[in-house]
Amino acid sequence: MSQRLVLVRHGLSSFNTEQRIQGRDDLSCLTEEGFRQARATGAALKDLAIDAALTSPLRRARDTASALLETQGQGLVASDESLLLEIDLEPWSGLLRQEVKERFPSEEQGWRTAPQDLELCRADGSRYNPLAELMVQAGTLRQRLLAPLQGAAADSVPRTVLLVGHNAILRALVLRLLGLPASHFRRLRIDNASISVFNLAGDGSVQVESLNGCGHLGGSLPAKGSGQRLVLVRHGETDWNRQGRFQGQIDIPLNANGQAQAEAAAQGLADVHLDRAYTSAMARPRQTAEAILRCHPGVPLTSTHGLVEIGHGLWEGQLEAEIAASWPLLLADWKVRPETVEMPEGETLQQVWDRSLACWQTIVAGLRCDETALVVAHDAVNKTILCALLGLAPADIWAIKQGNGGISVIDYPTGASGDPVVTSLNLTHHLGGVLDRTAAGAL
């Protein structure tokens, strides 16, 4: 048995608009724009069969869940789940963000730079760590979500559970699902009424199918703030993707569907300002980048060998069944311990990790503080980059999904030398839906 989690943050609230701290107080309510976002989210999920829905009991989340499910049209009613309550910021709740800066300057600075270390004082005088408490709460929620999968029989149709919550608790849940510490809290972004999809298996493994999708709300990407932005795209489909052949460094071009995916990505990014573009030196990402840049005349495109796909060596051009006949143990290890495998006459994940990250850092360092760059590469390359930015390791490569033509967004709000924020991951709304329905491929 497997389970699909669909995470939705509540729509725009009155306190969001007023720039007030919400926390666990229930004084904030959805705005008209928040209700519109909730209905748009329901429409985006209309074709998805949802088996159960849980919501934070706070009004802004409950109203989002209600409007979403009414539009979604399955007749579901969300159940209250206290483990989806927002972070407890008791002494700050209701205050304007500017008031918090003025009255609690050191604590406010700590919340922005090292939230895992923040301590606050409750009305009764007791001190507490809000994020530490929230991580415990998120861990309990994770266990509750995984419990039905443990010991259950395999099932090809995943059970889908909708969770409607808040910014901090959803980020904490993502960290718990991925086994990441509270210190990585600021590496994620969850926008109002965004959709994130996670796939859970009975063995406890977790895959991020998508993160912070906002295309259903009217814009292409989440709003950009200060700092550099990189838009990371996987190339469109090839015939070998469709057939499930290992491509590696054999230079297979896009097929007709891949060209259509590249054009869809181009339309999805048409209103995004781009200053520069980089591509793997291979044909399929270059063709994808060129299609996108037709909507951005004058943007220079640079090819680099640092972004070429993993070298599968003797596996290249072969189907999985063919590889299993000659290298059964190595293929089995690739599926469960990929970081241990060196493909015959090919590369290891660590080698791909080292060269792709070095290339990525060179690109980031070359951008001015307000610039946005397009980067088009491959499945394994994109996965290693995203794993590194999230704080994962080469062993975690299967935790990240990259669909053909999928779009990810990485921001550097404090500059190229600061911590990255994975703003969105594997967005496929421009390809026709919330779920990634692109070819599974061979990797």
Q: Which residues are catalytic?
A: 235, 309
Strands 206-213, 195-201: parallel, antiparallel or unpaired by DSSP?
A: antiparallel
If you count DSSP H runs as helices and E runs as strands, how many of each does the chain have, helices first? 14, 14
Cα 107 from Cα 121, distance rounded (Å): 11
Side chain identity at residue 104, one-letter code:
F
How are the residues of the chain apportioned to helix, strand and coil, as percentages rounded to the nearest 5?
A: 40, 20, 40
Find, among 193, 164, 198, the residue nearest to 435 by Cα: 198
Q: How far is CA 170 from CA 83, 155, 193, 364, in A?
A: 10, 27, 12, 28
Residue keyed to tokens 């999904």: 401
**Is the Cβ–Cβ distance between 244 and 320 less than 8 Å?**
yes
Contact indicator for 214, 8 with CB cutoff of 8 Å: no
b/e per residue, 116-126, with b = 16+ CB within 10 A? bebebeeeeee
* b/e burial code for range 188-218 (CB count within 10 A of at least 16 → b): bbbbbbbbbbbbbebeeebbbbbbbbbbbbe
CA atoms of 46 and 50, how far apart (whole Å): 9
* Alpha-carbon span 235 to 283, nearest angstrom: 9
* Cβ 59 vs Cβ 29: under 8 Å: yes
Contact residues for 319 (Cβ-Cβ < 8 A; gap 6+): 243, 244, 245, 246, 442
